[in-house]
């Protein structure tokens, strides 16, 4: 394992599909929906709501060991009438399934189909936000500093407004609202970053207190 090894986080909606990973050592992806970075060294699985107490978290990962392209009906011959039966799928061969000592959780419900990260982030992550690669070094540092203050910080945060939906690099969530930060708002210098953190901390106090992490 190397720090720069690629890890692809894949959404796992159905327990039955996870049993294929566990028992047969492979995972399928429709060719037409395959993400960039398909050839990651590791695959990890983010469980959906049907996993009960394990939902909205990553519990397991495996090393990728090969690919082949096949029709869905060839991969799942017991489902010949499925609407995508004749569609091409990637069959991703996986090594032995590994379990995390501490699951990587999402502190809020979020929609994930695929997410890319690196092994060093995956190894250290405690929540989904810790895996994010979007935003660059300055956003990484600002995120880390805000978390150290005990503030609730979300990365790649989706905002829904009456006029539409957009995403921001960081959102600090309060009992009384939130502060949104775009990538361009992240100061390059440590001094500037500290000033911004102080400003956000004051805003948290003024708006009824921060929603704390953990």
Predicted local distance difference test score (pLDDT) of residue 87: 97
Q: Give domain limits for the chain.
A: 6-131, 136-206
CB 150 within 8 A of CB 178: no
User: Is residue 200 scored above 90 in pLDDT?
Assistant: no
Domain 6-131 classification at class level: mainly beta
Spatial strand order of the sheet with 177-181 comes to 152-161, 164-174, 177-181
Predicted local distance difference test score (pLDDT) of residue 214: 41
- pTM value is 0.80
Tens digit of each residue's pLDDT (9 = 90 or more) over 73-132 = 999 999 999 999 999 999 999 999 999 999 999 987 777 889 999 999 999 999 998 998
Predicted local distance difference test score (pLDDT) of residue 210: 47
CB 2 within 8 A of CB 119: yes
Could you tell me the pLDDT band of residue 209, with boundaries at 50, 70 and 90?
A: low
Tracing tokens 């010949």 back to the chain, one arrives at: 80
Query: 22: which residues sit within 8 A by CB, 6+ positions away?
Result: 97
Q: How many CB atoms lie within 10 A of CB 36?
A: 8
Tens digit of each residue's pLDDT (9 = 90 or more) over 168-178 = 888 888 876 78
Q: For residues 92 and 13, what is the distance between their CA atoms, to the nearest angstrom?
A: 17
Predicted local distance difference test score (pLDDT) of residue 184: 67
The closest alpha carbon to 9, from 86, 103, 122, belongs to: 122
């Amino acid at each position: 394992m190397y720090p720069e090894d690629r890890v692809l986080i894949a959404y796992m909606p159905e327990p039955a599909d996870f049993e294929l990973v566990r028992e047969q050592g492979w995972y399928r992806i429709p060719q037409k929906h395959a993400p960039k970075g398909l050839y990651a060294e590791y695959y990890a699985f983010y469980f959906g709501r049907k996993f009960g107490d394990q939902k909205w978290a990553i519990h397991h990962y495996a090393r990728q060991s090969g690919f082949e392209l096949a029709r869905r009906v060839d991969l799942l011959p017991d489902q010949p009438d499925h609407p995508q039966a004749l569609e091409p799928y990637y069959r991703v061969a996986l090594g032995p399934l590994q379990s995390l000592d501490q699951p990587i959780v999402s502190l809020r419900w979020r929609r994930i189909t695929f997410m890319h990260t690196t092994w060093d982030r995956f190894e250290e992550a405690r929540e989904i936000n810790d895996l994010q690669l979007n935003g660059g070094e300055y956003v990484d540092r600002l995120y880390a500093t805000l978390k150290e203050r005990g503030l609730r910080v979300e990365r790649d945060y989706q905002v829904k407004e009456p006029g539409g939906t957009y995403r921001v690099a960081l959102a600090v969530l309060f009992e009384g609202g939130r502060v949104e930060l775009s990538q361009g708002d992240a100061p390059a210098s440590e001094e500037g970053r500290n000033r911004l953190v102080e400003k956000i901390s004051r805003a948290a106090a003024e708006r009824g207190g921060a929603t704390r992490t953990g």
